[in-house]
Amino acid sequence: MSTVRSVVDRVGPTLLHAVHLPDEAVAVTDVVIAEPGTATSAGAGDLVLAVAAPDADTAARLVEDSAQRDAAAVLVKAPLATANGVRRAARRAAIGLVEVHEATAWAQLVWLLRTVLDAEADESDALDADPAAGDLFRLADAVASVVDAPVTIEDTNSRVLAYSARQDLTDPARVATIVGRRIPDDVLARFRSRGVFRDLTRGRQTIFVPGQKDGTLPRLIAPVRMGGELLGSMWAVVGGPVPDERAAAFADTAPVVALHLLRRRAHADVRRRASAELLRALLHGEAGPRKAVAELGLTDEPHRVVAVDTPGGDTLDGEGMRLALLERLSQGIGRQPVAAEHAGLLYAVVPDSGGPGWWPELRCALDDIQAGPRAGEFHAAAGGAYPLGELPQSRAEADEALGLLRSGVVPGRTVTFDEVWTPLTLHRTATAARTADVPGLGPLHTLREHDRSHGTEYVDTLYHWLRRPGDPRGAAADLRVHPNTLRYRMRKLLELSGLDLDDPDVRLALTAQLITLRWS
């Protein structure tokens, strides 16, 4: 079911902002336009576009009239949407009020809203295939005919979304771009050094880049924008400077391309959110393996859950870093792992057996990213391998191993649950012993109090002495003291506590207590 909130979320904050939503359960049925000089034809559940609202009073009357007709919301352009009279009218009438970015064309908005409503009305079909993909390739052909040159349509990360025919009339850089589905790094660096991407962000209508000595042909580039947001760009390989009239016609196609890119984004959001919700349910034991195989593209074999901790936690910055990490991982392993965010962590499900995206391959990609200029910014831990129906166990193991990494108990940045059984055993044992107040038993309490009040290190000394039986030099090295200092401390702490370290059970009990203090 489409609601005003879901439509606003899918179109995105660049174009729409919810000012007042009294009842988020109201279903949206259609989009209607309030034309100048005509009566409103809105019905129950409609989104009413205030095309005929030149001032706040007119907008307020439209809001009241739409509410009487049980419309879901009225969409008003800034700054009228936030005028006091319009907001009061919406609150009194208990109807939704949505602000539209003032630079947005109403015709474009109608097309986009109906695209989103169609996608939500038939969610299953929207998940099976991207309805905009074929249209985008046909549109690339149309744009190429306007500029009379082969064209690519690219997103803001220089990835190719579609390309026209006649690519045989281009250069090696364009061929490599299409084969790799993104501009190669060396070509990207050359365009960046010429200020191309800086000019794209500055809002220029078209950018002409002359040919280069390495044989790269000239480019005519046009930014693709909507509501002030850069969505991507169009790149035409031309033979030389383009006449102003043709360059202007090339730039005039950008708003149409922008509509397709926004439609693509809406579709991607539908798929990502649905997949993420299903994966979260699977990891919490609330969805069955059959559904996961059918809708997530997983195979019916053992998988591991990988938990990734990025800076920023459960914030917008943290979400952005996790999305960027997913993109980089897809480049490193050739496919994007099935993943979802939850509680500030990124969870990925990967096959345990050999093949694209299995755990060893994903781990190598993570290690490569950590070795780069932003090394050390995240931790990753994989749980054990289990059938799909038992993935909650793998998730719990990944969480536990990740906790040891984050606390510094286990060294490194990436780990598998199976590899850290020793610290896990000590940690679980210590956690249970702490609950039973094991460290509070016997003479150890006396040593702890003495350390607190006198600044001594008797407890630490005893721990290392017990860890290295018969090796005082090794224990002294761990403490970074001279062996004679270790012997002196041991003599003093035995006088203070009265411990009998010749008794093996005493040594074993003390070891359990000291492990509890260090590992719980």
The C-alpha atoms of residue 369 and residue 378 are separated, in whole angstroms, by 10
Residue range 153-171, pLDDT digits in tens: 998 888 888 888 887 788 8
> In which band, very low, low, confident or very high, does the pLDDT at 405 lie, cut at 50, 70 and 90?
confident
Residue range 248-274, pLDDT digits in tens: 889 988 888 888 888 777 666 666 677
In this structure, of 4-8, 294-298, 452-456, 505-509, the range with the lowest mean pLDDT score is: 294-298
Q: What mean pLDDT is predicted for residues 181-193?
A: 85
pLDDT score for 350: 87
- In the DSSP assignment, the letter for residue 12 is -
Q: What residues contact residue 360 under an 8 Å CB cut-off, 6+ apart?
A: none
Residues 386, 303 contacting (CB under 8 angstroms): yes
Q: What mean pLDDT is predicted for residues 443-447?
A: 91
Q: What mean pLDDT is predicted for residues 212-221?
A: 91
More confident residue, 138 or 393: 393
Share of the chain above pLDDT 90, in %: 33
398: pLDDT strictly greater than 60: yes
The C-alpha atoms of residue 461 and residue 288 are separated, in whole angstroms, by 52
> In which band, very low, low, confident or very high, does the pLDDT at 451 lie, cut at 50, 70 and 90?
very high
226: pLDDT strictly greater than 70: yes
> In which band, very low, low, confident or very high, does the pLDDT at 181 lie, cut at 50, 70 and 90?
confident
Instruction: Round to the nearest angstrom and report the end-to-end CA distance of the chain.
Output: 48
Residue range 232-251, pLDDT digits in tens: 999 999 999 999 988 988 99
Domains of the chain (ranges plus CATH)? 4-121 (3.40.1390), 131-262 (3.30.450.40), 285-418 (3.30.70.270), 438-519 (no CATH)
355: its two tokens: 């093949």
The sign one gets for the Cα dihedral 417, 423, 427, 430 is positive
> In which band, very low, low, confident or very high, does the pLDDT at 479 lie, cut at 50, 70 and 90?
very high
219: pLDDT strictly greater than 80: yes
> In which band, very low, low, confident or very high, does the pLDDT at 404 lie, cut at 50, 70 and 90?
confident
pLDDT score for 373: 47
pLDDT score for 483: 93
33: pLDDT strictly greater than 90: no
**CA proximity to 217, closest of 174, 176, 182, 255:** 174
Residue range 355-396, pLDDT digits in tens: 666 788 888 877 776 665 444 468 889 999 999 899 999 999
Where is 163: in which H helix or E strand? strand 160-163
Cα 79–chain centre separation: 32
Task: Calculate ∠ Cα 28-33-37, nearest 5°.
Answer: 145
In this structure, of 144-148, 231-235, 264-268, 346-350, the range with the lowest mean pLDDT score is: 264-268
Residues 259, 232 contacting (CB under 8 angstroms): no
> In which band, very low, low, confident or very high, does the pLDDT at 137 lie, cut at 50, 70 and 90?
confident
The b/e string for 160-188 (b: 16+ C-beta within 10 A; e otherwise) is bbbbbeebeebbebbeebeeeebbeeebb
Q: What is the mean pLDDT of the chain?
A: 83
The most confident of the ranges 1-15, 199-213, 302-316 is 199-213
| Maximum alpha-carbon separation in the chain | 101
- In the DSSP assignment, the letter for residue 386 is B
The C-alpha atoms of residue 246 and residue 442 are separated, in whole angstroms, by 90
The C-alpha atoms of residue 457 and residue 469 are separated, in whole angstroms, by 19
**CA proximity to 518, closest of 466, 455, 456:** 466
- In the DSSP assignment, the letter for residue 83 is S
pLDDT score for 129: 43
**CA proximity to 72, closest of 47, 53, 94:** 47
The C-alpha atoms of residue 143 and residue 151 are separated, in whole angstroms, by 7
Q: What is the DSSP string of 428-491?
A: HHHHHHHHTTGGGSTTHHHHHHHHHHH---HHHHHHHHHHSTT-HHHHHHHHTS-HHHHHHHHH
Residues 160, 177 contacting (CB under 8 angstroms): yes
Q: What mean pLDDT is predicted for residues 399-409?
A: 87
460: its two tokens: 């630490």
> In which band, very low, low, confident or very high, does the pLDDT at 489 lie, cut at 50, 70 and 90?
very high
The torsion region of residue 414 among left (phi > 0), alpha (psi -120 to 50) and beta comes to beta
pLDDT score for 77: 92
325: pLDDT strictly greater than 70: no
Residue range 282-305, pLDDT digits in tens: 888 888 888 878 778 788 889 999
Residues 59, 67 contacting (CB under 8 angstroms): no
